[in-house]
Structure 1
Amino acid sequence: MFVDREESLAGLESVVSALAEGRSSVLVVEGDSGMGKTSLMGEFARRLSTTPESQEQPCRVVLVRAAPGIGSRRPYGPVLDALHALDRPARGRRRLAGFRRTATRGALAAAPDLLSAAVPGLGAVVAAGRVFAEATVATGSIPGDSLLPVESTVTRQLIDVLLQQARAGRPLLVMVDDIQLCDVSTLEFLHLLLPRIEGEPLGLVLGLGLYTAAEGNGRAVEQLLDAWQRDHAELVSRHTLPPLPDWAVRQLVDARLQSHPAPEDFAARLTGATGGHPVFVEQCLRLWRPEDGVRVPLPGSLPAAVLDRFRQLDPTARELLVTGATMGEFFFSHTLAEVSGSPRLQIQDLLHRIEREHGLIRSRHRDEVPDWAAGLGTDWYEFEHRVLQRGIRGEQSEGARRQRHADIAEALPHLQGVDPDAAPLELRALIADHFLQAGPAYAAQTAAAHYGLARSVAVEDLSFAQAEQHCRTAIESARLMPVGRPERDRRLVEAIELLLSMTEVRWKGGQGEQESMGIDALAAEAEQAAQRLGDRLLIARTTLLRGKTLLAVRGVQPSLTKLEEAVERARECGEAGRPALFVAMVEYGRQLPKRDLHAGLRVLLDAERLYASDPRLGEAGNPVLQHARNLNEMQIGVNLFDAGRLGEARHRLLRCTERLRGETLRAELPIALNYLAQLHLAVGSWEEAGTVLREALDFEEERGGDSGWHAYNNALLALLLTREPTRHDEAVRRARDAWVETQHTWLVNLVPIVRNLYVEVLLETDHDRNLARRLCEDTLVDTRDSGMVRSEIAGYVLRSRTHLQDGETDPSARDAHRALALLAEHGDMPALRTEEVLYHAARALQAEDCGNEARDLLDRARTEVLRKADSIDDPVLRTRFLTDVPLNRTLLHDSSAAEGEAGAG
């Protein structure tokens, strides 16, 4: 019986009314355990679906629920359930014809293939993503920026498919119950869907159980809801279910006890005892028996209202249900038989009798069982309510509970129809969770199960966020194993390598790094474990990994020391270590220019020669080597540019970007385009620079998500726009947005570069010099710690310019001398134009009446420009470099103006 709830139903109906008027909205229905949230959503969906034939249904409705127990580890689970439900009445449509076929393999593995069937051209991206994911799982050598496009593409294409379904008929209402149990991929889906929902014929109702704020992903959901209300206030509303009032409880009492008298004050007493919680009212009413007469016994407490019915069972049935409640909100009859050691038929008959005579549990019809469980050959049972399941689960000691979890985990693989080598991922997730709940005694099984799940969801589902969670659990469990066991060390190495590879794009040093899950602490732990194992290849790989985390946490010099060691460790592996050697040389060569440009270039060229000399390194099917080769080629190009060899650099970068455009994932393309844009800007090819930068920005905006390289490219475009006075406001806006995005991503090598570009835009547009100075101060503090000398030099030059613009000649000259001293110590640096440093230093010194020193600096700047011009073979490009670049034109074609400008300060 469904009573009261008029106010709550009105809130749900408002979403439907908005849809009828062409407006989208999102309603979050919140309810504590027992408040009837699930019943309310089910009743509303039923009413919408059973509109009288004389009336046209106002909208289509789909109700799905995150599965308890496995919901938080089932990538895109509710989203796929909704798409499956939508597909059933329209299965003949070609666009979604492949959904059901692919879904039969199991929902977890279906998402990428569903999209391949629904979205033309996506199949190649998914296939390439799986190849990259497999390589990451196998080697731990592909960073997250190579995997990010795939996961982001899957999420956004799922959004596109849902919106297509919404537009394909009457407006669509999607109801998702228990979003606190949703996996992180589904939460990302909802987060990215919200900005696109406005104006679409799509409404959302999301059920949130307040009682699970600390379970599943409940805390993440709360943070998301706060962000949604802040950013989409007109779209999102929240409704909390109130308790049932006295009159509604009276209705329930009259309905349940209609043939028996009840005390006049019974309903009021029941309301007081239950607080109006519908489920507790129902449980109390079910305790009543005819022999109680006019007096209906009320339990002394609410838990008793739930448990008294359970305690009426015989001991064998009670023990059986305790095992079932330990398994979760649902359980399998065959699993209970396996754990109890009883014949299966005996357990099936006993469960059937409990359901028929006592309630408490209900069986699911075969048609209602999820696809992944359809072939398991067992009865599926559920408890009437989560409160009931938790109460029964509590009827055991902690030790007994842990042992039952272990017994369940060991029994689940023996279900009829389960192939041990190809069990559904949902079943494996259940097994892993039960081993985890079994405690430290089963740490080895827990670590193995969760690491296996991490590998599977990364490769099969391309759900790297989900894989990250499994890796963390595997690491924590492996740490509980006895120290010194090889199995413990190998599991730590494998899980840490995979975790750090998948999260590299988000690495940040600083706060939290002292914690056990800090990136460098993890890398050090893996390195030590590899050394205990004595596996040379693992030692080389973990040494390389440590070198990369040190860059993020402690700066350039500690990183370079460790990366150089990684190269030597890989050499010690001999022929078997050639791939590891190539990867290590590329990484060392990419970072070494931050201290010694020319030495770094030599390492990169040596790596290129190694690649060319060994056919095995050129295997087209090895994405690890392909990724390293791409990075090496573009890094040689940009470092040739940094070294003033512009002609060679241009040839290499054009060739590299053209090749990357033809790849399926194009993961490294934004980096290569950034390098090419830097070169175009340096030689005065303004139009080409703008085209390349917009291509890079469009590419990353299409795949979505914050990106350090998107920020860098946006900042470069902002600097280009400062050439046009009418676009100064846009330039400042882009530079500001780039800096905000950089702070979100915090790639340690890009942070000071983007901040310095922001300052340069502010100076070129004469916009907020106070902010420019503060940003310079921050850069100089950061670079002293990180060892990013190139950005430290640029920071001094920019601060010198701000002092000079404010007429502060003495501090301007001091900063100029600091920049010159660092340049003299380190020579040419990447992402830094030597002639610009010399020119601006000359201006600062001239303002301090250091005329001779200033003229010497200007002469050196001219020499630098002419040296670079000599490296350009194309006469048109060479002329453009000498005449169209303002600094070069000032230095070479108007020397008196250059010196006069310097003197004017």
Structure 2
Amino acid sequence: MRTAFVDRVDSMGALLEVARDLTAGRGQALVVEGVSGMGKSALLDAFAQRIENDPELRRGVRLVTVRCAPDVGDAGTSPYAPMAEILLELNGRAGARRRWQRAAGVFGRSIPRLLAQFVPGAGPLLDSGQDIVEAALRTGSMPGDSLLPQQESMALRTAEALLAEAAAGRPALVLLDDIQYLDLSSLQVLDRLVRALPDAPLALVLGHRVDGLDSEGAIAELLQRWEYEEKLRRERLRGLPRDAVAELARARLTGRTVPDSFSAQLAEATDGHPIFVEQILRQLPPGRLERVELPHDLPQAVRNRFRELDAPTQELLRVGAVQGRAFLSLTVAEVAGVPHEEALERLHRVAAGRRLIRERTERAPQWVRRAGADLYEFEHLALREGVYRGQSTGQRESRHAALAGVLTRIAGQFGAEVPLELRRDIAGQLRAAGPRALAASAVAHHRLALGSALSALSFADAERDCAIAIDAARRLPADGGERDLALVQSVELLLSLTEVRWRGHRDALGAETDIDTLAAEAEAAAHRLGDRRLIARTALQRGKTLMATRGLRRSLEKLAEAVRRAEESDDPVALFVAKVEYGRQLPKRDLAAGLRELAEAERLYATEPSLGARDNPVLAHARNLNEMQLGVNLYDAGRLGEARKRLLQCTARLRSEPLNAELPIALNYLAQLHLALGAEAEAAEVLREALAFEEKRGGDSGWHAYNAALLALLLSRDPAGREQALELAEAAWLETQRTWLANLVPIVRNLYAEVVLDTARGPADLEWAHRLAVDTCAETAEGTGSGMVRSEIAALVLRSRIRLRQGAVTEAAERAGAALALLERHGDLPALRTEEVLYWSARAVLADGADGARERAGALLARAREQVARKADSLEGDRVLREAFLTRVPLNRWITEGEGLS
């Protein structure tokens, strides 16, 4: 039910300004907000009518109106459904709607699959995403950075398709009402549309109810961010003034005299709340109005109308209110104990009399018709809330549980392909059923998360449902059975989906919950279940969370255990994946041992027949990571020729693969090698390729930040590029702080510090570079920090160089000594050139001038020269590369010539 539109002159003016600005080429976003029943939707309806009635505006814009109503219950919109509806309206080509409706009628088709008909490239994305999730279910390892393209690209491509349609004709004015029901995937698309303003030929008018939950607060958070970034304006609706209440009363009470005293009493009783005014006016008795007693609040007004119904009909509506804003005739009939035919008649009679509910026919999902039910909805959310809150907690929970049972039986009609919307309603009813349904809620929400990820590629919604499943399981006692299995599976999926965004102690929804606590709970549950495969899988997941939360040493201990557990499980896939992960992390502490582990993983892949499945993206991802890690660690070990061959082959193959999410990582490794060989132009080329690859995909990425920082370091060597280098390094560090991949944070911070050092114009710049290096030392220190020794050594060298430049030679020598001590203890390490540590330490020792300084500096320089010679010998088969390595790399020239050490 829409409240009658009166007053709202200022709000209408703001809306018309949006439309007129759009005709002048200025797109913008405006949200109309108000509590339930404040007239938000009536205002938007009146605005749409004003556009239709204004020839100039009608010619100047294309109006698209979409309402984000729940399909059934209170579950909100299906993933991407509102965006699909907008795209269809904008598309407007002959046959487009018929094709859509025909496809929607095919049972089992998800909205994203239908959306793929209109969004270029969406089909392959859906296919690859489904392959990844299905493979993860079999292996227990989700390739997190392989999910990134799907997570970002589906929303990005949908937004691009919408913007392309908006640009294909008159500017588009989109009215999107009730966004509190918007699914999280559609919200990601909407975010991109808002950020395209004001340049896009598009304006967005949003309707938002502010007195209810919306996608766990995600919508309210985004609205606040858009407003802060000046991407959106807010129009807040409050109660109608007294004269508007009088106008509304006269409009509703035609043929009756409306005294001023009555209007004043009505305005005071309702505080100008339009839906409250409407409810009172609907139940006024005939006769004069001077002596009418008014309800004191909206719930009382709703109860008064509700009491007019007979008892069986009241019970049907009570159950309907429990199911949600929209409810099924079949479910409420069974729970209320009323024959379905009788329920159909009673509900139809109430709707025909415009009393509280209406039948929804145009927007009813196809599966509702297949179930043999009618779909009804309350005329207004406030009416539903009034009926719902009129029941006790026990009554509501009992009815939620009963509804879940009926809906589950309905779902049984559809075999293996239960509509996602129906599964969402079942899970929602179980969640609301209280403690009695915790176990069933955990299982249902885990299955719902899988469905969102598999059929809808809606990872944001899947994360939310995993979190709900985990919360339900945690509230139950450990049982070594269904509860523990639901916990393991939900934690495994949640951590896999969110791995690329881990920030140490933050969980997927931003709460201060330690992700390692989640992983530890899942590991303990796996042991109670006694399932060796699950034990191996949860140990591997725990090793990853320990890296993010407790540091390298603890992580390596757990990853080594994961390899042992995988060997005990007799599962070659689990063993290969565990070996690759362990082999990738071990070189950070022991390069030689890490190379051996990676080589063993490569041999296992080559000799185990079950690992050759080409259609398993988890195995492909692990193979790619293993190959490129071997390449870069061979480079770290000074075997440059072998490293170059492997990395060139790996990057060439990845460029040709459809699912090539690892390409930016491989290009980073190749760029490091090019820099080490003096091929700066080639290094810049591959770094720009990597940056462009991820920028096209959209969203923040730790590897994008790393590649940007590496390019900044390269640019800083050219005086003409120093300003650009500093800007790029600063942006890279900001992006790193947003993504916070534990292994990359200290590397990027060190690169940023080095760029600041190289471009420093005064003491303040040098102190800022030193502060950055000090922070890295604190973060990576053995015993108290992450244990990332390579980054600690590099930071100590930077601190030594900075103090040397400042003339603090004693401190420079002390920092160099600390770096050397760590290097002697650990040997060669990845992302660290041993000769660089030796060279700058020699400079610091000589500058300090202590007894025997020249001899010690000479010995360090000799060792640095041995390192350079050894690496040059690895290029013996290519004289051109060897010569470039010795002469075109500044550090190697300085070492050969003894720069600064004469």
Note closer, same or farther for the CA distance 1:91–1:377 as it changes in structure 2 (3 Å cut). farther
1:145 CA drift (Å):
1.3
Spell out, residue by residue over 1:507-540, the C-alpha distance to the aligned partner (whole angstroms, 9 max, x if none): 1224789989421111111111111111111111
Answering whether residue 237 of structure 2 is matched by residue 241 of structure 1, we say yes
Aligned to 2:378: 383
After superposition, the C-alpha distances for 1:217-255 in whole angstroms (9 at most, x for unaligned) are 363223222221232x2x421111232222221122222
**Residue 508 of structure 1 is aligned with which of 493, 503, 506?**
503
* Counterpart residue number, 1:30: 33
Alpha-carbon distance in 2 for matches of 1:79, 1:127: 20
Task: Report the Cα offset of residue 48 of structure 1.
Answer: 2.8
Say which of 690, 714, 717 aligns to 1:720.
Answer: 714
For 1:867 and 1:544, how far apart are their aligned partners in 2? 37
Task: Give yes or no for the alignment of 1:783 onto 2:787.
Answer: no
Amino acid in structure 1 at the alignment position of 2:808? E
Equivalent-residue separation in structure 1 for 2:258 and 2:613 (angstroms): 82
Match of residue 880, structure 1, among 872, 880, 884: 884
Between the aligned partners of 1:150 and 1:598, the Cα distance in structure 2 is: 36
How do 1:329-348 residues align onto structure 2 when only pairs under 5 Å count? 329-348=325-344
Which deviates further from its counterpart, 784-793 or 355-364?
355-364
783-792 or 411-420, larger mean C-alpha shift = 411-420
User: Where do 1:300-379 residues align within 5 Å?
Assistant: 300-357=296-353, 359-364=355-360, 366-371=361-366, 373-379=368-374
- Deviations along 1:294-345, whole A, 9 cap, x unmatched? 5333113332122211122222222221111111111111111111222111
Q: Where does residue 166 of structure 2 map in the other structure?
A: 166
The equivalences for 1:628-647 within 5 A come to 628-647=622-641
Q: Secondary structure of the residue that 1:355 maps to in structure 2?
A: helix
* Partner secondary structure for residue 457 of structure 2: coil
Rounded to whole Å, the distance in 2 between the matches of 1:418 and 1:19 is 49
- Residue ranges of structure 2 left out of the alignment (5+ in a row): none
Task: State the distance in 2 between where 1:106 and 1:507 align.
Answer: 37
For 1:30 and 1:133, locate their aligned partners in 2 and report how far apart those are by CA, in whole Å.
38
Q: Distance in 2 between matches of 1:125 and 1:435?
A: 32
2:314 and 2:122 mapped to 1: Cα distance?
52
Which stretch shifts more, 763-772 or 435-444? 763-772
Aligned-partner Cα distance in 1 for 2:77–2:283:
37
Partner residue in 1 for 2:838: 838
8 Å CA contact 1:133, 1:462 repeated in 2: no
Indicate the SS of the match to 1:290: coil
Instruction: For 1:106-185, list aligned pairs within 5 A.
Output: 109-115=110-116, 117-185=117-185
- Cα distance in 2 for partners of 1:107, 1:211 equals 34
Change (3 A) 1:200 1:381: same
Structure 2 residue 859 is matched with structure 1 residue 856: yes
Q: Distance in 2 between matches of 1:477 and 1:736?
A: 43
Mark the CA change 1:702 to 1:371 in structure 2 (over 3 Å): closer, same or farther. farther
Q: 2:11 matched to which residue of 1?
A: 8
Aligned to 1:473: 468
The AA in structure 1 aligned to 2:754 is E
Asked whether the 8 Å contact 1:560–1:592 carries over to 2, the reply is yes
CA distance in 1 between counterparts of 2:57 and 2:590 reads 77
Which of residues 57, 61, 79 is equivalent to 1:75? Answer: 79
SS of the equivalent of 1:90 reads: coil
Question: Which amino acid counterpart does residue 755 of structure 1 have in structure 2?
Answer: R
CA distance in structure 1 between the partners assigned to 2:109 and 2:62 by the alignment: 25
Q: After superposition, give the CA deviation of every residue in 1:553-611 in whole Å (9 maximum; x if it has no partner).
A: 1111111111111111111123xx11111111111111111110000000100111111
Q: Which moved more, 1:37-46 or 1:781-790?
A: 37-46
| The 10-residue stretch of structure 1 (72-81 or 837-846) with the greater mean CA deviation from structure 2 | 72-81
Q: Residues 691 and 708 of structure 2 are in contact (CA less than 8 Å); yes or no, is this contact kept in structure 1?
A: yes
The number of equivalent residue pairs is 886
TM-score, normalising length: structure 1: 0.95
Q: Distance in 2 between matches of 1:107 and 1:216?
A: 27
CA distance in 1, matches of 2:815, 2:693: 39
**Partner amino acid for 1:780?**
C
Letter matched to residue 636 of structure 2? D
Distance change >3 Å, CA 133–CA 511, structure 1 → 2 = closer
CA spacing shift, 1:137–1:455, aligned 2, 3 Å: farther
Query: Within 5 Å, which residues of 2 pair with 1:678-689?
Result: 678-689=672-683
Contact 2:75/2:425, CA 8 A, preserved across alignment: no
Q: Which moved more, 1:697-706 or 1:133-142?
A: 133-142
1:229 maps to 227
Residue of structure 2 equivalent to 1:57: 59
2-side partners of 1:515 and 1:163: how far apart? Answer: 34
Which amino acid is 2:64 matched to? V
Shift of 1:91: 3.5
Deviation string, structure 1 residues 165-219 (Cα, Å, up to 9, x no partner): 212222211111122221222222122222223222211001111112xx12363
Identity of aligned residues (%): 52
Q: How does 1:658-737 map to 2 (within 5 A)?
A: 658-737=652-731
Counterpart contact for 1:143–1:503, Cα < 8 Å: no
- Structure 1 pair 120/398, CA: closer, same or farther in 2 (3 Å)? closer
**Contact 2:470–2:490 (8 Å) recurs in 1:** yes
SS of structure 1 residue aligned to 2:59: coil
Give the aligned residue type for 1:4: D
Change beyond 3 A, Cα 1:56–1:493: closer
Structure 1 residue 719 displacement after superposition: 0.5
SS of structure 1 residue aligned to 2:414: coil
Describe the SS at the equivalent of 1:899.
Answer: coil
The letter of the residue matching 2:492 is E
Q: Deviations over 1:4-37 (max 9, x none)?
A: 1222221111111011111101111111222100
Q: Matches of residues 473-872 of structure 1 in structure 2 within 5 Å?
A: 473-510=468-505, 517-574=513-570, 577-767=571-761, 768-784=765-781, 785-849=785-849, 850-872=853-875
Contact preservation (8 Å) 1:262, 1:295: no
AA partner of residue 707 (structure 1): S
2:175, 2:696 → 1: CA distance?
A: 28
| Distance across 2 between alignment mates of 1:404 and 1:121 | 44
Q: Name the structure 2 match of 1:903.
A: none
**1:639 aligns to what SS in structure 2?**
helix
Deviates more, 1:2-11 or 1:626-635: 2-11
Alignment counterpart, residue 890 of structure 1, candidates 872, 875, 894: 894
- 8 A Cα contact 1:592 1:599, kept in partner: yes
Contact (CA 8 Å) 1:794, 1:832: kept in 2 or not? yes
Tell me, yes or no, if the aligned pair for 2:505 and 2:512 is still in contact at 8 Å: no
Checking the alignment, whether the CA contact within 8 Å between 2:139 and 2:574 is kept in structure 1 is: no
Q: Deviations over 1:697-736 (max 9, x none)?
A: 0000010111100000000000110121011000011111
Q: Which moved more, 1:762-771 or 1:849-858?
A: 762-771
**C-alpha distance in structure 2 between counterparts of 1:492 and 1:82, whole Å:** 38
Distance 2:188 2:356 in 1: 36
**What RMSD in Å do the two structures reach over aligned CA positions?**
2.1
- CA distance 1:112–1:671, change in 2 (3 Å): farther
- Distance in 2, matches of 1:695 and 1:99, equals 38
Distance 1:107 1:26 in 2: 35
For residue 391 of structure 2, the aligned residue among 381, 386, 396 is 396
Task: Give the conservation status (yes or no) of the 8 Å contact 1:62–1:174.
Answer: yes
Asked if structure 2 preserves the Cα contact closer than 8 Å seen for 1:102 and 1:114, the reply is no
Matches within 5 A, 1:213-224: 215-217=213-215, 219-224=217-222
Amino acid at match of 1:604: L
Matched residues in 1 for 2:618 and 2:203: separation? 43
